[in-house]
Structures are given as structure tokens and as C-alpha cells.
Structure 1
Amino acid sequence: MRVFRPLAALATAALLLTAACSSSAHQGSTAQGFSPPKIQMQQTLGQGEGTVNIVAWAGYVEYGQDNKSVDWVTPFTQQTGCKVNVKVAGTSDEMVALMKTGQYDTVSASGDATLRLIAGGDAAPVNTGLVPNYATIYPSLKMQPWNSVDGVAYGIPHGRGANLLMYNTDKVSPAPTSWSAVFDTHSPYAGHLTAYDDPIYLADAALYLMKTQPALGIRNPYALTPAQLAQAVALLKTQKKSISSYWNDYTKAQASFDSGDYWLGTTWEVIQQAVAADGKVKTAAILPAEGATGWSDTWMVSAHAQHPNCAYEWMNYIVSPSVNAQVAEYFGEAPANSQACSSIKDNPNFCTDYHAADESWWRNVYYWNTPTRSCVDGSGKDDCTDYAQWVTAWNEIKS
């Protein structure tokens, strides 16, 4: 899962993104406000090189290391002849740094890393015609601002999830329907609130302000002017007074809800499912009236890939219906392949629980994107705050 590093590392990565976007800005403007370096797209698929080096989230590349029955790597190697070497990354920043070394062929990047990889010249455009299983990926995940630039695909969607509002049903009454429950300046649940520990959480505050204070002019929670960012910072500083603790490790969040320390706050679907299975407390998780932030992960090919053919073989395999179903169920997220649900084995209600095909539900989820000076809201303006400024702001909130 997404377990983040200290903020010093985040600041370093943020400066890398700022420099990358600044250096490419003279090349022209796209919907994201920058043009990536010119990197050739692979046109044909050749013989596999025998190896593929992967950077991935824990749980995405399983070869029986933790559970012998959980292994989709061995069948891949048997089918393709490509031996898998995987480096598990704990943070998006670690993924960006690893991909910059040129030692890895493909990465399962979240939206808060993808634009950094593209702008920095570390991700190559992806020829979706060489990935047959791309055809059955949910259309709503294709060619999005975090996985494409100016109509060119830079990755293959893998899975998605939302940052929901979870609450202890015995402690929180009435049942919340809005994020106002965690932003209430006089919260009756002070000392038992929790929130996600990362600069990207500023987008959660921005989304709430966008929906409740339209006069602020926020069009996209990842495209904030300095004045809008200051409003989000002020909201989170006020919220901090009621926070028990922040979380960035889902197992710790689960344990804190189980123990009764957390009553109300940000969660992932997999956390709520785990707490429900533990049975120690009664909880519910909702998509609030304002919507929520979330993630859509993307398999990307390194611009420096030494094994590009095996990388393409891997991307096609990992998003195939049966394998995508295995990963989604093991990891705890909605699959990206529209045919994956027919291959779910353990929980017949899995795809319903995770809203896999409920596009009306996902329309209210604002997937992570990387803030850049050139606004990512499609306005063409260059007056937005970038990721480095968000890191500084988060340091200020947490200090």
C-alpha cells in the first residue's frame, strides 16, 4: 500500500517535478500545461528479452513470497519467458527516484507520480495497440489527465480506489453525509478524528472548499492558486486541532479504528472491509455529498527500458481479466478491466463492494493528479501552485 516517506524526501521529489516542468514549458502547452520531452513510442513488439525489471506497490507483483497460493508471476514467466525482478516501493517519490536510475522497465505509478515521470522524460509514450487487453479497460480510465498528455497515452490503467469517509457507527451520530463532519471547527469528535498523512491531502480540503464555497473559484482540487492553497491550508490547520493522529500505513489505520482511537476520518475501502472482518467495532464508509479524492494506478514504460518487449508483455498480462481480478481482490481495489469481475473467486460481492462498474459512483471521485504551476484544470493558466509548494504547505500544517 501507499506508505509515505518523511517530508524531506517529498520536498526533493517536488523540486524535481518543478524543474522538469519548467524545462519543458518552452516546448509548448498541453491540457496539463507542459509538453513532455520527445521520446519515441515503440511501434512493434519483438522477441522478449528474458527479463523485466519492475517497480510496483506491495501486492501488485506476487510470486508466492508471502502466500504460496498467491502467485501470478510464475504463470507469466512460463507463458512469456520473461523473468520478473520486482522492487517494491513504499512511496510515489521512491518510484520516481527509482525510475530515474534507468534500471527499471515498468512501474505501477499513481496519479501523484505520473506527471513527474512524464515531465522528467522518464516515461515513454505507450503504444496501446501493442496491449490487446487495453481494449476491455473501462473507457473512463483511458486517456485521462494523469495517464496521457495531449492525446498521447503514457500508460495502461491498472486499478482504482477512493478516499472515503469512515465512521464508528456506535460513536458518531447522526450518520455523516458530508466532509463537514471532519472539518467542523467545533467537532464533538475532537481527539478521535484522523486524516491521510501526505501533501496530496490538501486536495481533500480543496475539494470540500470547491463544493461548499464556490466563490473561491476552485475548478479542480489539484489546480490551486496561491490564494486558494492558503484557504486549504487554513482549513487543515483548524482541523489539526481535532486530529488524534494522521495515518499513511493502512494497517495502522485499521488497528486504530479497531482499538476505538479513531471514530471518524479518511479511509480506503480495503480498510473498512478489514475492520468489518475483524468485528471489534461497527463502522461504515461513505462517499460524501461533495465526492472524494482517489487514485487510478497506471502501468508505465520507462523511457530508458532495457527490456521493453517484456515490459509490454507484462502490461498486457497484468491487466488481463483473470490476472487483474486476482490483483484487485488481493490488493483491495476496483479492477480496471471491465471483464475482470467474472473471474473474481473468493468474494462474490467484491465488484459490488468496490463499485467496479458503477460509473455514476466514480464520477464523483477526483483521481490524484500532480499539481503544477501550469494549472491542470485545462484552463491554460499558469498561476497555480506546484507540488513543491504543496509540500511546503503540508510541512507548515504539520509543524
Structure 2
Amino acid sequence: MTKLTINRRRFLGTAAVGAATLASPAYLRRANAAGGEVNIWTYNDFVPEAFKKQFEADTGIKVNIRLVDDQGKQFNLLAAEAPNPTVDIMTVAGHRFLQFIDSDLLAPLDTGRLSNWANINPTFSESDWSTINGNKWGAPILSGMEVLSYNTDLVSPEEARSWDVLFSEKYKGQTAYIIQDMMSIVMLKMGYDGNMVAYLDDPEKAAAIVEEAKAFLIEKKPLVRKYYDSGAEVQQMFINQDIALGHSWNGPAAALINDGFPLAMTIPKEGSYGFVYTYNIANNAPNADNAYTFLDAILASPEIGASMTKASGFISTYKDASQYLTDLEKKSTSFSDDELENLQFFRAEANEMKYGLVDPAVEAIKAA
């Protein structure tokens, strides 16, 4: 197979240019110069560079960003620092809230300190998963989903209608997926509840289902090229033509599509899961006031939401953000009604049981 010689930086350049052209937000010029710093753990491209520079210039608050690529790693790092974290704001997916809350790692969000809270679409800000024990725990910023991404020069739309293509002999050595996420999808593909909420009262059945999914992935292990961890990693594999198709988040796939790479993504007929990324304030955050100043600022404008979508490829939770996207950007962040009918959202109620079973299964698959 002939590899492309185009560098990944070229493909991701368009998103960076889009972020750099973000207009100077007027709300920042009204902010008092607070000074100090705010420490943020987040994913690549979740804080637009133009916004960061303007925020620092207009508030005097230095923004320190530490990139994360995995919810579990972020939890372990925060737990190791408790009760005196070095971080102020984290980026936690809504379905992982309970794990962080039960370990006293998050502070309840005081939405009364966020004058721009109403700029979030209530589909996200007021949904059932966003309120736990009567409190809000995060500001929804971006929405994503687990998709099947494929190189349109190598894989047909018909083939991509089912997750089965990911485990076919035809594409042996040309596939990749995040193995922990794939466990949920495999369970769904087998006709089970990948959230495991249905088995809260039947832990033996839950264990048997995880064992079945584990056995399937071990059997199919000779077909996969790589188990990967980050969005940037799967982007690079597509660009290098190391893989023809793979499971991915929609954000990294959309970024490649917007930059002209021959990629498409779909929600296969067996279904998949969606998730929402939120900004959260750490319990005992060292710079809590600055954290609220940052959150209120980044929620101030649909243009900021659009710039986050342009950079990350994930769907903005901000009202009217789509007005600031090109037709191609809108296309890369939307799905057909038929596909969306197959989408469920990750839920947290059974997470303790689920990940208590799934995490050892993942390690066993890797070691097999």
C-alpha cells in the first residue's frame, strides 16, 4: 500500500487558522484584571488558542494547560493529588461524573456565578445526566460519539454499515480502536446493554456478558493493527494509510474531513454511544475564583463554541454555534436521522460495576 506523504500538520492547519481568526470578545475587555493563574487539564484543541491569548491579555490570568487523552488516567492523577490538587478545571465526560463525585474530586458547580450559563443549549445543560444529588457538576462544552471512520478510497459506505467490517479478514491489519470503548460497542453489537444499567441487580449476568465480549475481542485480536489511545494517534494512522478504517470519536474524524482527507464516518446499524465533555472545577481548586472567570468567559459567545468545533471536530453545545460554521463543517458534525436513531448516550449508574469488570478484561485482552 502506498503511503501518503502529506504531513499531519498540514491536515490540522485549517482548524488552527479558523481558531486564530476568532474575533476579540468584547466581554473580556469588561473583565477586571484579576491576575494569577488557572490550571486546566483538557484535551487537545478544547481551548482555542486565540481565546486563550485574549483571555490572558484582558484578565491578567495566566492559563496553564496540561493535555490529557484518557478519562481513567485523569482520574488516577487527580486522586493521587487529593485533597490538595494542582488543577482548577478538568474535562470530564458526563458518564464519568459519578466516579469523580464519589471520590470527592469535583466541586459542585455554582451556576449562579456563570452569567453566560444560558448560552448552553438546555438539551445539554438541563439533561438528566447533568444533575446528580441536586447539583450541577460541569459546564457542557462539546458533544461527541463513538463512530466507525473509514477511508472512502478503500472502504465502501455499504461495508461501513455494520461494525462487522472492523473484524473482517478483508481488512486484517488495517484497523484500530480504543479497546475500552470497543468493549461497550461489542456488548451493544451482541444485543446487550453496553451501559450495564440493565444488570445492576444481576452482577453474575453482567460478568458473563463482559466475559463474552472479552472472548470475542481476544478471538479477533489477530485482525487489529493497533489498540490506540488518542485522537491524534488515529488521525496519524489514517493519514499514513496504516489503517483503512477504525473505531474513533467523531471529533478527530471530522477534523480530517474538514481538511480534505478522504474520510467518512457513520453510526453503524448495530448502534453506538454518545457522550458530552464538560468543564469541571476540582474540589479544593487552588484558584477557584479564576476558574469561574475562565468558565464564564469561554461560555460567552457562540463564536467561541464554533471555534472549539472547528479545532476539535466535536459538536458544540452552545446555542447558535452552527451559524459560524461552513457548510463542510456542518456536514462533518451531523448525521442522518437513521444513524441518530441508533445512538444512545453513555450512562453512569452502573459505572462502578461496569468498569470493575471491563478494566480487568481490557488488560486481559492486551495481554492475550
TM-score w.r.t. the length of structure 2 is: 0.76
User: Aligned to 1:163, what secondary structure does the other structure show?
Assistant: strand
User: Aligned to 1:124, what secondary structure does the other structure show?
Assistant: coil
Instruction: Tell me by how many angstroms 1:367 deviates.
Output: 4.0
Aligned twin of 2:159: 175
Instruction: Tell me by how many angstroms 1:118 deviates.
Output: 0.9
User: Aligned to 1:266, what secondary structure does the other structure show?
Assistant: strand
- 8 Å Cα contact 2:159/2:165 also seen in 1: no
Instruction: Tell me by how many angstroms 1:318 deviates.
Output: 1.7
Structure 1 Cα separation of the partners of residues 139 and 319 of structure 2: 13
Aligned twin of 1:85: 64
Give 1:166-245 correspondences, 5 Å limit: 166-173=149-156, 174-183=158-167, 187-197=169-179, 199-209=180-190, 213=191, 218=193, 220=195, 225-245=206-226
Q: Once the two structures are superposed, what CA deviation does each residue of 1:203-243 show, in whole Å capped at 9, x if it has no partner?
A: 1112212xxx3xx5x37357661122122212222332321
User: Aligned to 1:59, what secondary structure does the other structure show?
Assistant: coil
Q: Once the two structures are superposed, what CA deviation does each residue of 1:139-175 show, in whole Å capped at 9, x if it has no partner?
A: 2223456543144211110101222112233443543
TM-aligned CA distance change 1:362 to 1:121, over 3 Å: farther
| Higher mean C-alpha displacement, 106-115 vs 148-157 | 106-115
- 8 Å Cα contact 1:53/1:86 also seen in 2: yes
User: Aligned to 2:160, what secondary structure does the other structure show?
Assistant: coil
Using the aligned pairs only, state the percent identity: 24
- 8 Å Cα contact 1:206/1:221 also seen in 2: no
Number of equivalences? 324
Aligned twin of 2:266: 286
Aligned twin of 2:148: 165
Q: Once the two structures are superposed, what CA deviation does each residue of 1:308-358 show, in whole Å capped at 9, x if it has no partner?
A: 2221121122233222222221122111102222334xx4432332129x8
The amino acid that maps onto 2:175 is L
Q: Once the two structures are superposed, what CA deviation does each residue of 1:89-141 show, in whole Å capped at 9, x if it has no partner?
A: 33323422443422222112224643222111011111223223221322222
- 8 Å Cα contact 1:111/1:367 also seen in 2: no
Aligned twin of 1:52: 38
Instruction: Tell me by how many angstroms 1:298 deviates.
Output: 0.8
Structure 2 Cα separation of the partners of residues 129 and 278 of structure 1: 39
Aligned counterpart for 2:229 among listed residues 248, 255, 258: 248
CA RMSD of aligned residues (A): 3.2
- 8 Å Cα contact 1:159/1:333 also seen in 2: yes
The amino acid that maps onto 1:162 is M
TM-score w.r.t. the length of structure 1 is: 0.70
Give 1:1-399 correspondences, 5 Å limit: 50-62=36-48, 70-100=49-79, 101=81, 102-111=85-94, 113-144=96-127, 147-173=130-156, 174-183=158-167, 187-197=169-179, 199-209=180-190, 213=191, 218=193, 220=195, 225-273=206-254, 275-276=256-257, 282-320=262-300, 321-344=302-325, 347-355=326-334, 364-369=342-347, 375=350, 385-399=353-367
Structure 2 Cα separation of the partners of residues 82 and 75 of structure 1: 10
User: Aligned to 1:349, what secondary structure does the other structure show?
Assistant: helix
- 8 Å Cα contact 1:48/1:309 also seen in 2: no
TM-aligned CA distance change 1:107 to 1:252, over 3 Å: closer
Instruction: Tell me by how many angstroms 1:278 deviates.
Output: 6.9
- 8 Å Cα contact 1:126/1:301 also seen in 2: yes
Instruction: Tell me by how many angstroms 1:396 deviates.
Output: 1.0
Structure 1 Cα separation of the partners of residues 263 and 37 of structure 2: 45
TM-aligned CA distance change 1:83 to 1:271, over 3 Å: closer
- 8 Å Cα contact 1:53/1:84 also seen in 2: yes
The amino acid that maps onto 1:336 is T
Q: Once the two structures are superposed, what CA deviation does each residue of 1:47-75 show, in whole Å capped at 9, x if it has no partner?
A: 9574322222222235xxxxxxx321232
TM-aligned CA distance change 1:169 to 1:327, over 3 Å: closer
| Higher mean C-alpha displacement, 269-278 vs 129-138 | 269-278
Q: Once the two structures are superposed, what CA deviation does each residue of 1:366-394 show, in whole Å capped at 9, x if it has no partner?
A: 44455xxx636xxxxxxx73423311100
- 8 Å Cα contact 2:196/2:354 also seen in 1: no
The amino acid that maps onto 1:387 is Y
Aligned twin of 2:21: none
Q: Which has the higher helix share?
A: 2
The unaligned stretches of length 5 or more in structure 1 are 1-45, 63-69, 377-383
Structure 2 Cα separation of the partners of residues 179 and 301 of structure 1: 37
TM-aligned CA distance change 1:86 to 1:245, over 3 Å: closer
Aligned twin of 1:16: none
Structure 2 Cα separation of the partners of residues 239 and 97 of structure 1: 30
Structure 1 Cα separation of the partners of residues 141 and 259 of structure 2: 28
User: Aligned to 1:241, what secondary structure does the other structure show?
Assistant: helix
The amino acid that maps onto 1:191 is G
